[in-house]
Amino acid sequence: MASLPDFFLINPTAWNFIVWDRFNVPRNYTFAPTKLQKHEGIDLRATDDHNNPVTVFAAQRGIVDKVGYSAGGYGNYVRIVHKWGDQTYVTWYGHLSSTTALAGQFVLAGQKIGIAGTTGFSTGVHLHLTLQHIGHGLSNYVVADVVDPEPYFRLDGGPEFEEAWFVNDITIPDGTKLTPGETFVKTWQIRNTGTTTWTNQYTLGHAGDEKMGAADAISVITDQVRPGQLTNVSVNFIAPTTPGKHVTTWMMCNAANDPF
């Protein structure tokens, strides 16, 4: 479970997953006449049985890159960047009546980002979803690097996975000059970006380069850290006696001691 699964999406609407209009069907994009006149995403039903707009969720965890408005295109929209291993995916959620996400915000898969609507170049309430696979998608669509989102959906909610993102150096930023033999405490701020809750059985383990006098593994979780939450982790080090640049690499480890 420690390894990252293939990229996947979950249902981004508070309703059954129903595709009203599929990828690549013909379009008449009068606002973009030089682009391919093909649907660059999919349209999903986003109304309940009483025809009321439903809540829209992030289809995968990531960072909200932009919250904007385009009168000739997506109307009110939210764009989320999903770093996934060494790949980058981007989702766009268009025609929203209102948005609740903020630019720069980390969101979990399934977290509310807005309410469906029919703003912009739209007829009737629905959710338009575009998926980009940066550097690997199709060209000359109204959005670059697009791929068909439909095969990426996991309607079972997808697999659990464990993941940690570095957020910030709290103490001893990279490049800090230290006296040889000096003891110091390096503290990192990290975020639980996976789907599991970290417990006190999770550790921070030495994964490579120099240990700098530290232990192989350190218990760093004193309380539960739920998905999306931030926590600080610290290691006691001794500065090497040899002058120069020194590097140490650490990774979180789960209760089975699998690094992630």
Q: What is the DSSP string of 55-90?
A: EEE-SS-EEEEEEEEETTTTEEEEEEEEEETTEEEE
pLDDT (tens digit, 0 to 9) for every residue of the chain, 260 residues total?
A: 567 999 999 999 999 999 999 999 999 888 889 999 999 999 999 999 999 999 999 999 999 999 999 998 999 999 999 999 999 999 999 999 999 999 999 999 999 999 999 999 998 999 999 999 999 999 999 999 999 999 999 999 999 999 999 999 999 999 999 999 999 999 999 999 999 999 999 999 999 999 999 999 999 998 899 999 999 999 999 999 999 999 999 999 999 999 99
Q: How many CB atoms are closer than 10 A to CB 126?
A: 23
Residue with tokens 């697009």: 146
- Sign for the CA dihedral angle at 43, 49, 52, 56 comes to negative
Q: How many CB atoms are closer than 10 A to CB 191?
A: 19
The confidence score (pLDDT) of residue 32 equals: 87
The confidence score (pLDDT) of residue 72 equals: 85
Task: Tell me whether strands 127-133 and 42-44 are parallel, antiparallel or unpaired.
Answer: antiparallel
Structure tokens at 136: 């690997």
- Give the C-alpha separation, 2 to 226, whole Å: 16
- Give the C-alpha separation, 177 to 191, whole Å: 27
Q: In what order do the strands lie in the sheet with 230-238?
A: 164-169, 183-192, 230-238
Residue 202 gets which letter from DSSP?
-
Residue 5 gets which letter from DSSP?
P
The confidence score (pLDDT) of residue 1 equals: 53
CB 189 within 8 A of CB 168: yes
- Give the C-alpha separation, 230 to 94, whole Å: 29
pTM of the model: 0.94
The amino acid sitting at 71 is A
- Give the C-alpha separation, 187 to 178, whole Å: 15
Q: How many CB atoms are closer than 10 A to CB 21?
A: 13
